[in-house]
Amino acid sequence: MSDSDRVRIEIEGGVADVRLNRPEKLNALDLAMFEALVDAARALGGDPALRAVVLSGEGRAFCAGLDFASFQAMGGPDAARGRGPGAAASSSATAPPRRTWRSGPPGRGPSSRCP
């Protein structure tokens, strides 16, 4: 099984160990990591002898989540200032205010308290 620089795959006894390999960034997900995971899934999906897949991470962390800096860099200089493509969709200024209602005890209707 071939490895990429972002994901390592080892298969033993019908079990694949898919290991995120970016320990210097606590295995934070960037575009290359997403692509490597998709490639690994496609490659492993065609193996009829495979019984299980274990997803783990190199180093001291499994995965820190999304690498926001790498995705911001893809959006260009305006993305960092909230003016790039998709900025309006993520801006809290354009989102309608949220109101949370909690219902009261059964048979008494909604309460006016908000958490």
Extract the tokens encoding 78. 């305006």
CATH of span 7-76:
3.30.300.220
pTM (two decimals): 0.62
Q: Where are the domains of the chain?
A: 7-76
Q: What is the pLDDT of residues 87-110, one digit of tens each?
A: 544 545 556 666 665 565 555 555
3-state secondary structure of 114: coil
Pairing of strands 7-12, 52-57: unpaired
Q: Pick the residue with more confidence: 87 or 15?
A: 15
Q: Pick the residue with more confidence: 29 or 103?
A: 29
Q: What is the pLDDT of residues 42-99, one digit of tens each?
A: 999 989 999 999 999 999 999 999 999 888 888 876 655 555 555 544 545 556 666 6
| Residue 95 phi, psi dihedral angles, 5° rounding | -80, 140
